[in-house]
Amino acid sequence: MKYSIRTRLTSLITLIYLSVFFFLLVAGALALYLGLKEEIDKKLQLERDQMIALFEADFTGLLSVTGATRDSLADDFLDDLKEMYGYKDQFVIFSVKTETGRHTYSDGGIKNVQLLLPEGFLSKAEGFYNQRLGGKFYRAVITKPNWGTLVVGMENQTFFEVADELAEILLLGVPLTFILVLLGGRFLAGIAMRPVVASAEATEKITMTNLSERLPEYTGKDEFGKLVSTLNRMIARLEEGINRVQQFTQDAAHELRTPLTTLRGELELAYQKSDLSDDLRASIQKSLDKAILMSRIVENLMLLAQSDTGNYPIQKNTFRFDELVKDAVDDMMSLVDSRPIRIRLKHCDEILLSADKQLIHRLVLNLCDNAVRFTRTGKIEVALSSDEKNVEFVIVDTGIGIPRENLPHIFDRFYRVDKARSRARNGGSGLGLSICKWIVDAHDGKILVDSEVSKGTSVTVSLPLNNSR
Ligand SMILES: Nc1ncnc2c1ncn2[C@@H]1O[C@H](COP(=O)(O)OP(=O)(O)OP(=O)(O)O)[C@@H](O)[C@H]1O
Ligand SMILES: [Mg+2]
């Protein structure tokens, strides 16, 4: 969708407004035109009747006299009319049928008006006509008494004057109202869309870990209110479903724990028996390794399931982080076996950290474990430093590295870059970094992994010294 609903609503409001505006304008102009026309027609009618009355009272002689007498009588008639009406914006044409033929006389604001009129105008039927003369608009009434034809015309400028003035006002008014309507429409559309935006923002924030949250209650009983309550009901159903799955994982991991421990115990006992053949011992050793891997996976699963359900009891205490790191580095040395790897604690400030000690221990162990597991030769360097607010733990190895395209996924559960390579030595389930990420998040910290294939990997964990949780 190219345009936002707000923009579309604004356009719709503006379009409707402009349509109504133009409709009213056209209707108003039409009403004005018709009103003015009626007024002018009445005036014309009245004058025409008076002229006919005058003619029939005093000038019917015109019909019978001839020559110069007729012309001077006609002049008298016109003079009388001029006296009565002034002829400012008017004209009059009267054409009489006499025994000697038709004689046409005219007078008024336009000289020789009968010559300017289109041909055959005088022969038109009785009635009112609009006529343009010399760039002006005229309204004329044609009457045909039995003695001839009488045309009375009057300038009909008023409507066009009003229209002209109106056009001037509109020239400024239309763009101004257009802008006002546009801004007003945008504002109104913004108000109308506000609950939608608020709900969208709230929806954005709802993730797997906070499914207990709901969209803000919308009190309106309209379609939008319905949508909000439907979405909220859907989130509730999702929450229930996910809770069930998480609970299942937690229960399953829990149930597997005890038999696995027993199995490990039994295998260890069997391994210690002295009367075993080499083959059998090797086979028990292999099974024991697998059982150890399985218990680790189950432990990790259990921890992640607990983190998902929010059931893990994070216990904050203050401890010496540097001592914990030193111990971890010492342990790492024993894991290296015969590989030519130098392990060095490059820098280690004395640091008092307030956090869940067990989890932080696990975080450090997981990262050390990865460094050792994925490094064949070279060195592993650990550094611990702090400023007033944060502590930074960095572990750098010269191991096999992680391809750039795999980096975004390494925190995913069960994700291993190359399944063959990590299972090769003591196996890995791909849960270690997911757990690290959870621990770091639970302590409001950050974890960054940078890596280059065949060159090595560096992991930086930054934790607040005194986090508020
Ligand atoms: N230091 C490292 N050097 C090279 N690759 C690494 C390093 N750390 C992690 N990886 C890659 O990231 C993947 C995910 O690491 P993660 O710790 O989550 O799983 P794992 O070590 O394979 O198994 P687990 O930690 O559960 O025993 C690893 O399989 C490995 O491919
Ligand atoms: Mg690991």
Dig out the tokens for 148 from the structure. 């001839």
Q: Which of 312, 299, 317 is nearest to 253 (CA)?
A: 299
Q: Which helix (H) or strand (E) holds 57?
A: helix 5-58
Looking at residue 208, what is its pLDDT? 74
Q: What is the DSSP letter of 121?
A: G
CA of 426 to the centre of ligand 1 (A): 12
pLDDT in tens, the chain (469 residues): 578 888 888 888 889 988 998 899 889 888 988 888 898 899 999 989 998 998 888 888 888 887 788 888 888 888 888 888 777 788 889 888 887 788 888 888 877 788 888 888 888 999 999 888 888 888 999 999 988 899 999 888 777 777 788 888 888 888 898 899 899 989 988 888 888 888 888 888 888 777 888 888 877 778 888 888 898 999 999 999 988 988 898 899 999 999 999 999 999 999 998 888 999 999 999 999 999 989 989 999 999 988 887 778 999 999 999 999 999 999 998 888 888 999 999 988 899 999 999 999 999 999 999 999 999 999 999 999 999 899 999 999 999 999 999 999 999 999 998 765 554 455 678 999 999 999 999 999 999 999 999 999 999 999 998 765 5
Q: What 3-state DSSP class applies to 407?
A: helix
CA of 220 to the centre of ligand 1 (A): 51
CA of 23 to the centre of ligand 2 (A): 74
Show Cβ contacts of residue 316 under 8 Å, excluding neighbours closer than 6 positions. Answer: 354, 355, 356, 469
Looking at residue 120, what is its pLDDT? 87
| DSSP track, 339-386 | S-EEEEEEEE---EEEE-HHHHHHHHHHHHHHHHHT-SSEEEEEEEEE
Looking at residue 198, what is its pLDDT? 87
Show Cβ contacts of residue 217 under 8 Å, excluding neighbours closer than 6 positions. Answer: 228
CA of 219 to the centre of ligand 1 (A): 50
* Residue identifier of the C-alpha nearest atom 9 of ligand 1: 370
Looking at residue 5, what is its pLDDT? 83
Dig out the tokens for 403 from the structure. 């391809």
Reported for 135-140, long-range contacts at CB under 8 A and 24+ positions apart, including other chains, are 138/91, 139/37, 139/40, 139/41, 139/44, 140/44
* Cα-only R_g, the chain: 51
- Taking a C-beta distance cutoff of 8 angstroms, is the pair 253, 296 a contact? no
Count of beta carbons in the 10 Å neighbourhood of residue 211: 16
CA distance 213 to 202: 9
Query: What residues are in contact with ligand 1 under a 6 Å CB criterion?
Result: 300, 366, 370-371, 374, 397, 399-402, 410, 415-417, 422, 428-434, 457
> Could you tell me the CA-to-CA distances from 128 to 30, 125, 144 in Å, in that order?
18, 9, 12
Atom of ligand 1 nearest to the CA of 432: 25
CA of 436 to the centre of ligand 2 (A): 9
Atom of ligand 1 nearest to the CA of 371: 1
Looking at residue 224, what is its pLDDT? 84
- Taking a C-beta distance cutoff of 8 angstroms, is the pair 202, 183 a contact? no
CA distance 449 to 396: 10
CA distance 462 to 158: 84
Atom of ligand 1 nearest to the CA of 297: 26
Atom of ligand 1 nearest to the CA of 456: 3
Looking at residue 263, what is its pLDDT? 95
